[in-house]
Structure 1
Amino acid sequence: MVALAANVVIAAAKAVGGLISGSPALLSEAAHSVADSVNEVFLLAAVPRSRRPADARHPFGYGKERYFWSLLAAVGIFVMGGCFAFFQGFEALTRDEQESPTGYTAGLIVLGIALVAEGSSLVRALYQARGERGGAGDPALRTVIAEDSTAVLGVVLAMGGMVLHLVTGNVVWEASASLAIGLLLVFVAFRLGRDARDRLIGESADPELRHRIHELLDGRPEIDNVASLLTMRPGLDSVLVAARGDLAPGIDSEEIDRVCVRIKESVSRKWPQADHVYLDITNAPPPGGV
C-alpha cells in the first residue's frame, strides 16, 4: 500500500516533469513508476486471493496465486518499463534540439522528491520483510523490494544523465541513462519471473528444512530406513511432505497406521507449515531378500 501510494504520485510528477523538460531519462522513469503502480495493484490482488481456503477443486489451497501475480508483475516491468526506456534512449539519440535548463531544473527537483519517496518506501518494505515471519520469502513483498530498489537506482541514473547532458550539451549521456534504466528493468523482470516460475512449477522446501525433516524421520525408533523424502511448497506458508520408509524390525505391521499418525503429528507439531504430510511406511525386506 505504501509503495502503491508513493508510485502513483511519483509517476504523475515524473510524467509532467518529463513532458515539460522533454527529458528522455525522466520520461523513462515515469514509465518505470507507472509499471510499478500497475504491478502493485496485481500484488494487492494476489494477497487475499492466495489466502482462500482449500476446496474440492484446489485441495492444496490457493497459495500459488501469489506466484502467478508476481509473474504478471515481472512481465509488466519488462513490457511497460524496460521496453519504453529502451525506446526513449534510442529516440533521444536521433534528436537535434536544445533542452530548456529551466525545464531540466524542474525535472531534477521532481527526481529529488522521487528519490526521497522511493527510499522511504524501500525502507518500509525492508522493515516489513524483517519483522514478518516468512516475509523474506513472500513473493509480493520481494517484488516490492525489488521494484523500490530498482526505482532508487533508476532515479540516480536519470539524475546523473540529466546533469551530464546539461553540463556537456551531449544527449548521449541522457540516452545512455535511459538505456541503463531499461537494462536494469529487464534484469529485475528476468529475476522476478524466474523466481515465480520456479515456485509455480513446484519448488521444493529449502534444503535446511528438508534436511531437518529427514533427520526427524530417520531418528524415529519406528522407522528403520528413510528410502525417499520429497517436499514441495504449494504456498507461502504451506509445505507438502511425502516420505517413504521401512518399518523397524520387531514392530508389527498392524501398527503401521498408528506409527504414521504419530510421525505426522510430530512433523506438524515441529513445523506448522508442513500441513500436508504423506507417509508410506512398509515392512523392511528380510535380510538377503529382494
Structure 2
Amino acid sequence: MSAEGGTKAIIAALSANLGIAATKFGAWFLTGSSSMLAEAIHSVADSGNQLLLLVGGKQAKKKATPEHPFGYGRERYIYAFIVSIVLFSVGGLFALYEAYHKIQHREPITEWKWVPVVVLVVAIALESYSFRTAIKESNHTRGTTSWVDFVRRAKAPELPVVLLEDAGALVGLVLALFGVGMTLITGNGVWDGIGTGAIGVLLVAIAAILAVETKSLLLGEGANPETVTQIERAVLAGDGIERIIHMKTLHLGPEELLVAVKIAVPRSENAEEVARHIDETESRIREAVPIARVIYIEPDIFRTQRTSDEAVTAAPPATT
C-alpha cells in the first residue's frame, strides 16, 4: 500500500470533516439537537485523527539512529493506535453520555427545524466523497482481496483507518438523520437521544476494531503468505543454495521488511563461494520484494537433526 495513496485519502477526509464539523456545530447551536452535537464532536475527533495519521507518517520518515537502528517505521502504527483511543473516548463515550443526558431531559426541536436536516444531507454528500476517495485509493493495492481481509491484513494503517472512519461517519449521519427526523415528526426528544446513543455504540465498535488491528501491527507482524512465497522462490532460484532451513520475516514499518533466513549450502563450497551466493541471494530478494530493506542470511550445513522451529519453517529443496 503506497504512502501517497494513504496521504491523499487522509487529506480528503480531513478537508471534508473540518467543513462538516463547523456546520454541525452551527446546527446544534441553533436547534439544541444532541444528535447534531454528537456528530459535531465525532467530526472533530475524526479531524484530529487524520492529523495524527499525517504526523505519524512524517515521524516514520526519520532516519535510523544508534538508539533505534531499525528506524521509526512503526511510528505509523503507534499513531494509528492513538486514533482508536481518541475515537473511543472523544467520539464514542461522549456520544453515549450525551444520549443518556438527552433521554433523561427530553427536549423537542422547536426552532430552525430545517437546519439539522439540511446539514446532515450535505454532510452525507461530503462524507460520501471522502469515502469514495478512500475506496479508490485502496483499490490500487487491494486487488481481489475482500474488504474484511484488506482491513485485517493491511500493513499500512492509514487507508483501513480512513475507510472505517468514513464508513462509520456515513452510518452515523444516517442514524443522526433518523433521530432528528423522528424528533421533528413526533415532537418527542427521546428519538434524538436514541439516535445519539446509536452513534455512540457505533463509534465504540469501530474504535475496538481499530485497536485490535493496530495492536497486532505494534506487536510485530510477518510478511503475508504471498510475499513469503516470493522470498522463498528468490532464495532458491540461485546456485549454491540447497534449501531454506528456516526463515522469519518482520514488518519494521508498512513499507520496510526484515528478512532473516538460514540457508543450507554445499559442504564442498569455500568461504568465498558462500559469500558470493549470499550476495546474489540478497539481490534476488530485493528484486522480488523491494520492501525487503533489512536482510540477514546465515549459511549452514543441512542436517537431518534440527530443532522443532527449523523443522516447521523449513522449505523444500529447490527443484530443477
Which AA in structure 1 matches 2:76? R
Distance 1:289 1:240, change over 3 A: closer
Instruction: Please say if residues 156 and 255 of structure 2, whose CA atoms lie closer than 8 Å, have aligned partners that are also in contact.
Output: no
User: Does residue 264 of the first structure (1) align with residue 282 of the second (2)?
Assistant: yes
Which AA in structure 2 matches 1:270? A
Instruction: Please say if residues 231 and 241 of structure 1, whose CA atoms lie closer than 8 Å, have aligned partners that are also in contact.
Output: yes
Which AA in structure 2 matches 1:251? E
Instruction: Name the counterpart of 1:57.
Output: 67
Displacement, 1:188? 1.2
Which AA in structure 1 matches 2:20? I
Local SS of the residue matching 1:275: strand
Displacement, 1:75? 0.8
**Deviation string, structure 1 residues 48-105 (Cα, Å, up to 9, x no partner):** 22122323222222111111111111111111100111011111111143321x4332
Which AA in structure 2 matches 1:210? V
Instruction: Name the counterpart of 1:120.
Output: 129
Instruction: Name the counterpart of 1:166.
Output: 184
**Deviation string, structure 1 residues 99-125 (Cα, Å, up to 9, x no partner):** 21x433211111111111111111122
Local SS of the residue matching 2:124: helix
Displacement, 1:222? 2.0
Which AA in structure 2 matches 1:95? H
Select which of 27, 30, 37 maps to 2:40: 30
Select which of 218, 226, 233 maps to 1:200: 218
Instruction: Please say if residues 239 and 277 of structure 2, whose CA atoms lie closer than 8 Å, have aligned partners that are also in contact.
Output: no
Greater displacement, 234-243 / 170-179 = 170-179
TM-score between both structures, scaled by the size of structure 2:
0.83
Whole-Å Cα distance in 2 between the matches of residues 97 and 265 of structure 1? 69
Instruction: Name the counterpart of 1:237.
Output: 255
Whole-Å Cα distance in 2 between the matches of residues 175 and 227 of structure 1? 61
Q: Note the 1:37-186 alignment, pairs <5 A.
A: 37-100=47-110, 102-131=111-140, 137-186=155-204
Which AA in structure 2 matches 1:203? E
Greater displacement, 235-244 / 3-12 = 3-12
Instruction: Please say if residues 248 and 283 of structure 1, whose CA atoms lie closer than 8 Å, have aligned partners that are also in contact.
Output: yes
Displacement, 1:4? 1.4
Whole-Å Cα distance in 2 between the matches of residues 152 and 17 of structure 1? 18
Instruction: Name the counterpart of 2:301.
Output: 283
Whole-Å Cα distance in 1 between the matches of residues 272 and 14 of structure 2? 58
Instruction: Name the counterpart of 2:311.
Output: none
Displacement, 1:249? 4.8
Structure 2: where are the runs of 5+ without partners? 1-10, 144-149, 308-320
Which AA in structure 1 matches 2:130? S
Whole-Å Cα distance in 1 between the matches of residues 155 and 100 of structure 2? 37
Greater displacement, 76-85 / 161-170 = 161-170
Displacement, 1:12? 1.5
Local SS of the residue matching 2:210: helix
- Aligned length, in residue pairs: 288
Measured on the aligned residues, the alpha-carbon RMSD in Å equals 2.4
Select which of 25, 28, 44 maps to 1:15: 25
Structure 1: where are the runs of 5+ without partners? none
Whole-Å Cα distance in 2 between the matches of residues 3 and 29 of structure 1? 15
**Deviation string, structure 1 residues 13-48 (Cα, Å, up to 9, x no partner):** 111211221211111101100101111111111122
Local SS of the residue matching 2:244: strand
Whole-Å Cα distance in 1 between the matches of residues 264 and 23 of structure 2? 66
Instruction: Please say if residues 235 and 284 of structure 2, whose CA atoms lie closer than 8 Å, have aligned partners that are also in contact.
Output: no
